[in-house]
Structures are given as C-alpha cells and as structure tokens.
Amino acid sequence: MEHYLGTVVLFILVWSSFLQLSESAEYRFKGSKYSRIDASANRVNAAEGHQVYPDNYGDHLPHLFVYWTRDAYVSTGCYNLDTKCQPGFVNFANSGWRVGDALAPSEINGNQTELSITVFWDAGNKYWVLKVNGEHIGYWPASLFTLLNEEVATRVNFGGEITNRETDGRHTKTDMGSGEFAEAGYKKAAYIRAMQTVNLQNELVAAPLEPNNGPFSSNSSCYDAQKFSDPSSEWGTYLFYGGEGLSSSCPI
C-alpha cells in the first residue's frame, strides 16, 4: 500500500459550467485514507479544488473550495469556513486568498485560467496545509479527521465530479468542465496537469499511470477522462476530462 505526505496539482484548469437547477459541479482532488469497512468502502477525509455551486455562492462562477468529513459524507462534513462546523478549516488571516473566493473562468479557444494547488502534512504543527498558487492559505487540523489524523494518506484521487439528482426523472444536464469530452483536448476540454504526490521521503513523485490507477468514469457516455504522461515536459502526468451530461450520447 502506498503512503503519501501530500499531493500537488501544479495546474488545474478553471471552468464555469452549465448547471441544472440546484445541482453542483466540482473539479478537485481528494486526499483519502482507505478504510476496509467492507469490500469496496473508502473514506474521503478532505477535498479541495474549485466548484460551481449556486446554492452555496449565489452565482454560476467557479469558486475555490475546501471540504472535510470524518465519515465519507455519512453524517459529517462542511465546506470552506462554515460556522456550523467549528473547529474546521482555518484560513490564515494574512493570506491573499480566502476559501470561497470566485475565480475567473476559462474560455473555449480563449483565455485559459489555471490554478495551482498543493496539500501537504506539516509535521511540526501537526496539520494538513493548503497552498494555492504558491501561497500557504490555511490548514485542516488533524483533529478533524478519523483517518487523516496521522501524517500519511493512503489514497489520492484527481478529477471532476457533478451532482446528478435526476430531478425530472432523467440524467442531469449539468456540464463537467467545459462541457466537452476529454478527446476535445487542449483549449476545449478541462484538464489537470503536472499531477504529483509527496512520498514518505518528502519527494515529489509523478502520479502513477498503472491500470489500477485509472482513469475511471462512472458513466463514460455522459462524462469521460483520459490520462497521459510526458515526463520531459511541464505537463508531466496529466488528465483531460469532462462531458455535457444529458445529450444524444447520454440519454438516461
């Protein structure tokens, strides 16, 4: 089993997606500790990245977000600086960033807005630090977690996620990323590049490309992902992903 002191996405592309009413889209990576509760159970402890979530923010812009849960969303969990969950994520007072900040979205064949995100274990202070575009902006106290209350994580996921409530009896129309599938490629599809983890020797290591490390799509006719590796370039290990939701290829 692999163990990680942190994870790094040097660049994640920021998109503002179309959302069906009362749904959300998230583009994130999750630092998780695997728990063998049953044959397939795993417990997400922390998530971070950017999301479009009108119910939370009152607009359709992408926002920097963090999330934490003790029990994989069962009965605990809070976004950002939610006052209902204290103690929770702590935003450094002198940071130029605040979780929940709106972000400038990318444009198909136009401006591409990238966000650099790092999460790592601070052994001296005993907490998990969030770093955005090179700046330490806050931390999760280890005491928040049942599984990340040590210095290591055993699983890291990169990718996108949408909410599909099937409110009208069929699949949501909510986009993932730009609404383009992975094969559309650069300046069209969403991507995450330079994906890395921090190993126990505190070294940056490219995210692995073995078959059991994805990519995975819960429904590839609606949303898909393609993973690549170019160690000689600044892209390193990277992922294109996305989709438009309900369509002729996703009729369910």
Over the chain (252 residues), the average pLDDT of each successive run of 10 is 67 72 55 28 70 88 88 83 89 96 93 89 88 94 72 76 83 90 95 87 78 78 93 92 91 73
Give the SS3 label for residue 120.
strand
Q: How much is the pLDDT for 29?
A: 45
**C-alpha–C-alpha distance, residues 171 and 24, integer Å:** 14
- CA dihedral 73→79→85→91, nearest 10 degrees, is 140
Q: How much is the pLDDT for 133?
A: 93
Q: How far is CA 129 from the centre of its chain?
A: 15
Backbone angles phi, psi at 133, to 5 degrees: 50, 40
Residue 208, amino acid:
P
CB proximity list for 207: less than 8 A, separation 6 or greater: 156, 158, 195, 196, 197, 213, 237
Token readout for 43 is 């417990």
Backbone angles phi, psi at 59, to 5 degrees: -150, 180
Whether the CB-CB separation of 66 and 88 falls below 8 Å is answered with: no
**C-alpha–C-alpha distance, residues 245 and 232, integer Å:** 34
Token readout for 103 is 């972000």
Q: How much is the pLDDT for 90?
A: 96
